[in-house]
Amino acid sequence: MDEVWVILEQRAGVLDDVSWELVSQGRGIADKLNQRLCAVAIGSNIAAVGKCLDHSGVDEAYLLDNPNLDTYSCELHTHALSRLIQERAPQIVLWGTTPNGSDFASRVAAKLRTGLVSNCVAFDLDEQGLLLQTRPSYGGKVYSTIISPNTKPQLTAVRPGTTVIRGLRSTKKVKVTKMSPQFDINKFSIRVADFIEADPLTVSLEEAEVIVAGGRGVGSDESFGLLEELAKALGGVVAGSRIAVDNRWLPREKQVGQSGKTVKPRLYVACGISGSSHHILGMKDSETIVAINTDPDAPIFKVADMGIVGDLLEVVPALTDEIRRREEAAKVK
Amino acid sequence: MNIVVCVKQVVDTQSPIKIVGEDSINSPDLPRVVNPCDLVAVEEAIQLKEKGGVEEVIVVSMGPPSAEDALHRCLAIGANKALLLCDSAFDDSDSYATAIVLAKAISSLEYRLILCGQRTADTGAGQVGYYLAEMLDIPIISGAVKMEVTFDSGKVTVHRKLERGNREILEVPLPALVAVEEGLNEPRYVSRRAVLAAKRMRIEQRDIGRLGLEREGVGLMGSKTKVISFSRPKPKQIFVPDSDLPAMKRLEQVISGGLKQKRSNIISGSPQEAASKLAESLAPRVHST
């Protein structure tokens, strides 16, 4: 069938950012090929996903619904999607290169004995309409452009954070097709024994997507508890400047800066950090930087995308509450 | 029981990599190392052997004759046997074609556990393990940052790396394949003496005929994907400090890596109002309808 598929990632019916990136990327490719864009969501009770895809540019949504598919379960997901791909034969299938997305894509590629190009940062089409997939290799020193000739469908995975999410694309409502794949659980050998949620105090800074950092302005060991709460609400970890570490508010491996670690999270919240050049060197490449400081002239504001001039002891708890409130509101909806 | 470890010799990505023509890189001139993730896999196998219950650790690699160096390195760490799958027909194999060759060789070995690195440092595809497991018809678990093998009950338990430091614990009966992440262990230091001793150990070589494979099934012909060109990413802009500034300021700029001042958006209002406005702009980029 002349379809481009994107494999969405969702939690409790709410789509992850990467899913919107996939929709944007998929729409672009489908338009060039003059094909339909179909989105596949896999989970349990995911009817809400269908609704939020209205007007998104997706032509049809396939919802694979089964209580066993609630969280990513590698073998079951692979089984369900491989069957659907074999049945409907799409031209191109896109995943996001997240830990689960790349595992999923690789498993489907193996099951279908076809090629896969993962971690792509750019796409184009050649004269025959074959997908030109560009991805970094050799430690990012060169980009290689790869084709998957003679194999259908062409499986590919997009590196998250490289696609601009476009807004309203269509006035059309999405056509929703619900399916409930069935399987014999005993036929699968991998058992998900447990899930360990990251503890904001122990996760390594290199792995964190969100870092809440504190400096001299935090003032005490106890006040770091406020930062910890904010980190929890944002799904991130706590870090600090050298002062925070020297004062033993934090262990040495949580230090950001020239004599500590260099970090590149998606979001960096600097609380009570004035922003000496030594600290800034360690965090300047963060995607978004937010600064909270009492001194409006603090150098940290020069590198921040957003700033609040105020006492962090008041602002941080207010921010934590606000984020929690929004999360609750999103859940109810 | 035996453990098989798949390793690849890769060019050291720290070295200067140049694009030659359009579709190749200057790999013959570059220093080569054992793929870092694969070294972690070898280390894990040796540690399991040291704990007991493992008879032999067999390392298998597909590559050019020079890949013997990589295998000698693994022998120096403590592997018992090394197998090099070497034939010019294997050149330009992608992950799929590589897995065909490895699967053919491994299927003639006795094993209960196969280990490999999560990804290679050169192409970074990270797919060979998945194809290999499928071809050998055994389960695979990827992204291992911690693992435990119980040989009596024939089971492996793996902590799999997820986003934001989260972990998932998976269990699977043996035989199985586990792809390991760097950080699972710290590969040991190998003494010069062990390296020299390993150099004298024989590496078994198998070519396409010995393996009983067809030319059409391997190399570029057996591949599912094909690299058609290499290009350079956009060069990083080198920072030059503004010469009008006093020396101290220029030094400061250089130390902080040449920052460009951002147009920061200062949010005003009471702590509650400011927090609310900030939360609004931080809200996940939700699709607006």
Distance from CA of B117 to the nearest CA of A (A): 14
pLDDT band at B250 (very low <50, low <70, confident <90, very high): confident
Burial class (CB in 10 A: 0-12, 13-18, 19+), A317: middle
A308, B278: Cβ pair inside 8 Å?
yes
List Cα–Cα distances, A41 to A9, A52, A157, A278, B280, in angstroms.
7, 12, 16, 45, 27
Q: Specify the pLDDT at position B287.
A: 38
Judge contact between A87 and A126, C-beta under 8 A. no
Q: Specify the pLDDT at position B215.
A: 92
Closest to A144 (Cα-Cα) out of A135, A154, A157: A135
Closest to A227 (Cα-Cα) out of A242, A239, A243: A239
- Taking contacts as CB-CB distances below 8 angstroms, the residues of chain B near A237 are 165
Name the phi and psi angles at B155, rounded to 5. Answer: -145, 145
Q: Which structure tokens are listed for B218?
A: 């391997």
pLDDT digit string (tens) for B149-171?
998 889 999 999 988 778 999 99
HEC sequence for A179-203: ECCCCCHHHCCCEEEEEECCCCCCC
pLDDT digit string (tens) for A96-144?
999 999 999 999 999 999 999 999 999 999 988 899 999 998 888 889 9
pLDDT digit string (tens) for B70-121?
999 999 999 999 999 999 999 999 999 999 999 999 999 999 999 999 999 8
Find out whether the peptide bond into A265 is cis, omega within 30 degrees of 0.
no
pLDDT of B180 higher than 90: yes
A167, B162: Cβ pair inside 8 Å?
no
Closest to A270 (Cα-Cα) out of A241, A250, A297, A311: A241
Mutation for A interface: B137, B287, B288, B289, most A CBs within 10 A: B287
State the virtual CA torsion across A250, A252, A255, A257 in degrees, nearest 10.
Answer: 150
Q: Which residue has the tokens 């033993």?
A: A248
Distance from CA of B72 to the nearest CA of A (A): 24
Question: Per-residue pLDDT for chain A (333 aa), expressed as one digit of tens each?
Answer: 699 999 999 887 788 888 988 999 999 999 999 999 999 999 998 888 888 888 888 999 999 999 989 889 999 999 999 999 999 999 999 999 999 999 999 999 999 999 999 999 999 999 888 999 999 988 888 899 999 988 889 999 999 878 777 765 677 788 889 998 888 888 899 988 888 887 776 778 887 889 999 999 998 888 889 999 999 888 888 999 999 999 989 888 889 988 888 888 889 999 999 988 889 888 888 888 999 999 888 888 888 888 899 898 999 999 999 888 887 877 665
**Residue A182 CB-half CA count within 13 A:** 0
Q: How many contacts (CB atoms, under 8 Å) link A and B?
A: 250
Q: Which residue has the tokens 């309808």?
A: B289
B141, A209: Cβ pair inside 8 Å?
no
- When mean pLDDT is compared across A228-237, B28-37, B190-199, B247-256, the lowest value belongs to B247-256
Can you count the helices (H) and strands (E) in chain B? 8, 15
For the question of whether the overall pTM of this predicted structure is more than 0.80, the answer is yes
Helix A99-112 / helix B128-136 crossing angle, nearest 10 deg: 40
Q: Which residue has the tokens 């290679």?
A: B120
Q: Which residue has the tokens 């006035």?
A: A171
